[in-house]
Chain A
């Protein structure tokens, strides 16, 4: 009987060995994509616009929300889907503040995302919008459940009419939050 008890204790000890060596309060860099897809209606109207509310809490695993320690962003990207033989002019905003502008650039060039950090010459980034991104990420850190970002866009196509179906323009802000795992 003593042997059985000894073995049970040993198994229990071995089974729990792994839990004693875990860093307490380690930070996981959690991806926080803030993204809006602006679908463009097919037809003779070359102008398009749209506005989307992005609740930041919905973009990450819910278990992290109460333990966010830092937030940052590292890129702004613009891309397109669908085929259009013409150019696009668009202004993208965050909370009504200008973030990114595309001035009559070929639609097809955005099949590969054009990004701020890659130094794309096809997009212009506005510091007012960048500051707003930083401000809203700070809001998210303080009040994760209440932070909603408004991404909007106003634009025009030119060079091909009518507009074919299946076109969309995507604006993305790539951000991270540090979530503490206790």
Chain B
């Protein structure tokens, strides 16, 4: 028992070290940030909104894979969670505003998840053209990954902490990403001795920074239940959540009122989760599907309780 706890602590140290090594402070502006700076506040809203929706859904995923929380005693768990939100066809284009006075006044063009930006010609003045940027991401699933620590238990309550800092990726096309989350879960089934299910309630706060321009934050409040059958764990839950992505930057658009400071609300407000896990001693593997305005999936591996 002592040897296995030492192994677990050593493992955690290695993982924390890796995360710190990844937390390189890349101050250079990424290509995504430079693309965003070309937009004024109304145009950037449509271009970036899918990121607000998908980040919002991803950052609330994977917080639990069981509703069991011991009523007392020290417990420690470490998970590595990967999430992926489905990018729908509707999220690949949007109706953009053309510059004031341009005819047509609106046009359909690529979002950050779209393909080619649309070029429009002025309806009456020959030679005048305007264009939206191309999409940056070519993917049907928008991914995120984060390690998280679970520490308990005090009166059937455990704390959940997640943090990751990633350097810029794709030769600086995607800016550095930092995410941290903090939450707590409390066992309800401890008050119901004959409960056939483990039941818990939870509250989580997440904060996400993408480069210098984008900040997202969100809150999730939920209830979850699980049933352990030998090595199998079936779990599910429901939660209310919100997320807001803030964009703050100085636009290069000469018609823009500087500085730009816009809030984009994530689409997901309610989430239903169903999942399954396998527990082999201190090693666990789990996966779940999350349904709401945005469909996303999460899964991962866990060590510890």
Contact = CB atoms under 8 A, between A and B. Distances in A.
Contacts of A61: 34
B18 A11 contact: yes
Interface string B19-50: 10010000000010011001000000000000
Nearest to A6: B301
A8 interface: yes
Nearest to B251: A31
A26 B169 contact: no
A181 interface: yes
A29 B133 contact: yes
Given A14-B82, A61-B34, A174-B99, A21 B139 contact: yes
B131 A22 contact: no
B263 interface: no
Contact of A14 (B35, B119, B134, B145): B145
B54 to A, nearest CB: 12
A35 B131 contact: no
Nearest to A10: B80
A43 interface: no
Interface stretch (B59-67, B120-128, B232-240): B120-128
A41 to B, nearest CB: 26
Interface residues of B, number: 53
Nearest to A177: B131
Given A61-B34, A75-B99, A10 B131 contact: no
Interface in B120-161: 122, 125, 127-139, 142-143, 145, 147
Interface in A140-182: 172, 174, 176, 178, 181
Contact of B122 (A27, A117, A178): A117
Nearest to B169: A19
Given A28-B38, A31-B38, A74-B128, A174 B138 contact: no
A15 B22 contact: yes
Interface residues on A, range: 35 or more
B14 A4 contact: yes
Contacts of A14: 80, 82, 143, 145
A181 B134 CA distance: 10
B130 A33 contact: no
Given A26-B136, A31-B38, A174-B99, A72 B11 contact: no
B253 interface: yes
A122 interface: no
A5 B116 CA distance: 41
Nearest to B254: A33
A29 B34 CA distance: 10
Nearest to B18: A11
Given A14-B145, A119-B101, A72 B131 contact: yes
Contacts of B304: none
B25 to A, nearest CB: 15
B100 interface: yes
A7 interface: yes
Nearest to B100: A118
B173 interface: yes
The 3 closest A-B pairs by CB, nearest first: A118-B101, A14-B145, A21-B139
Interface of A: 3-4, 7-8, 10-11, 14-19, 21-23, 26-31, 33, 35, 60-61, 63-64, 70, 72-75, 115-119, 130, 134, 172, 174, 176, 178, 181
Given A22-B170, A27-B134, 20 more contacts: A7-B11, A14-B80, A14-B82, A15-B22, A21-B139, A21-B142, A21-B143, A22-B137, A26-B133, A30-B38, A31-B252, A60-B252, A61-B34, A74-B130, A115-B100, A116-B128, A117-B101, A117-B125, A117-B128, A172-B254
